[in-house]
Amino acid sequence: MGSEIGSSNPVVAAIVNGTAPRAAQVAASRGILPLAQGDLLEVLVHLAQGDDVELRENAKKSIGEQDAGALAETIRSTDVAVSILSYFASDAALPVGLHEAILTNARTPPDAISKFARTTQNGALLELISLNQQLLIQNPSVIEAIVSNPHRTADAERRVTEVRREFFEKERGAKQVADELRARGQEAAAEFIESSESNLSAEDARLLAQHIEVMDRETDDSWLGLEFIEEIYEEPDDQRKATVEKIIAELTNEEEEIPGERISMINRIMHMGVKDRVKLGMKGDREARNILIRDPNRLVSAAVVNNPRITEQEVELIAGMRAVSEDVLRLIAMNRHWARTYNIMHALAKNPRTPMANTMNILTRLQHRDLVSLTKNRNVPDAVRRQATRLIAMRAGKS
């Protein structure tokens, strides 16, 4: 019977491959061949699973006679043969301590752990397996084994269920939603959901899909210069919570009441990573833009003004916002298309957060009545009021 050999000892290889003399194989099966403990155990495990009746029965008896301490030391070793771990994982009569050693040994094959998790009657050992999140993520069969075992504990079930929901059901849910959207011709939404890096649940994916209107080919990310790279970081939960509260407070000041579904959407959006929020800013509809322009991350808010579907009316409102990033106001002021729209430029001039250099340039294009209004506006910087006064005097022909 062929098998993967863990030992580098040629005697072990000869016995496992069946090329050793019969006398050597018999001696090995009786545990009297002069081999290191790990090598001998590998040979015994191999013979105990073989087709030769004599060797198999001898080997099983020899395994049963192994010193418990020596067996435990071998199982806990970092270079123990994989075949040994697999063999003893299936031994229900093994002491709990040895099963713990097997389950926590990084060399134990996932298939062996999955089989153990499906058949063991020890709930505590199932809990031990459930603590290994990396194992569960890489081997979903282990999750199913624990869930199907009637001896599982509530904690073991909770842990594996959470992993399954977070790393598998969400992914499948978003993929299913993307397929549904594409079948209905909503290609832009399907693109966004498929490329999301935020592990969207099916519920979140369906909600966000209603607010995606721009295809990838319509967006232009050439504005994403090196100065924005530092903004691509994931905020801690407390910071995201504070951002949600900030956005809701701003919207509350503008509207009498915010519907519960809108608050729910804000929460869902802010639980996405920065990259996904940037994509949503560039691809989302007016509602998504109205939320994300208030994102304190300047990369996200800048993405909103680079959305190809944004209207001049929206830009005018943004130009007058006191809480918006100076970078956003600068982008608006430097945009050639929007520079030709008087109402947008006027809104920027009245906004005290507009960078001074941009404001001074805009003042030269304002009408007389608006310059006069600025001279009386205590919300703008003194320098802006003085410059407005000088421009009025110059136009009147005074020095």
**Single residue among 92, 114, 144 that ends a domain in this structure:** 92
168 found inside a domain: no
Residues 297 and 200 in one domain: yes
Report how far residue 238's alpha carbon sits from residue 226's, in angstroms, rounded to the nearest whole number.
27
170 found inside a domain: no
Q: Which amino acid is at 317?
A: L
Question: What digits encode the pLDDT tens for the residues 329-359?
Answer: 999 999 999 999 999 999 999 999 999 999 9
Q: Which amino acid is at 165?
A: R
Residues 293 and 212 in one domain: yes
Instruction: Report the sign of the C-alpha dihedral through residues 129, 131, 133, 134, in that order.
Output: negative
Residues 193 and 254 in one domain: yes
Domain count, the chain: 3
358 found inside a domain: yes
pLDDT at 399 over 80: no
Residue-wise DSSP of 321-356: -SSS-HHHHHHHHH-HHHHT-HHHHHHHHH-TTS-H
pLDDT of residue 229: 66
Residues 337 and 288 in one domain: no
pTM of the model: 0.58
318 found inside a domain: no
**Single residue among 310, 337, 353 that ends a domain in this structure:** 310
Question: What digits encode the pLDDT tens for the residues 161-184?
Answer: 888 877 776 666 778 888 888 988
Half-sphere exposure of residue 112: CA atoms within 13 angstroms, side-chain side: 20
150 found inside a domain: no
Question: 88-116 burial, b for 16+ CB within 10 Å, e for fewer?
Answer: bbeeeeeeeebbbbbbebebbeeebbbbb
pLDDT of residue 387: 94
Residues 256 and 292 in one domain: yes
pLDDT of residue 169: 64
pLDDT at 136 over 80: yes
Mean pLDDT, the chain, whole residue set: 89
372: exposed, middle or buried (C-beta count within 10 Å: 0-12, 13-18, 19+)? middle
Report how far residue 116's alpha carbon sits from residue 121's, in angstroms, rounded to the nearest whole number.
9
Which residue range(s) make up the domain with 285? Answer: 186-310
Residues 302 and 370 in one domain: no
Residues 368 and 335 in one domain: yes
Strand partners for 212: 284
141 found inside a domain: no
pLDDT at 2 over 60: no
pLDDT of residue 1: 42
Question: What digits encode the pLDDT tens for the residues 234-286?
Answer: 788 888 888 899 999 888 888 777 888 888 889 889 889 899 999 999 999 99
Strand partners for 284: 212
Q: Per-residue confidence at 309, pLDDT binned at 50, 70, 90?
A: very high
Q: Averaged over 218-226, what is the pLDDT? A: 80
180 found inside a domain: no
Higher pLDDT, 83 or 1: 83
Residues 292 and 353 in one domain: no
Report how far residue 299's alpha carbon sits from residue 233's, in angstroms, rounded to the nearest whole number.
10
171 found inside a domain: no
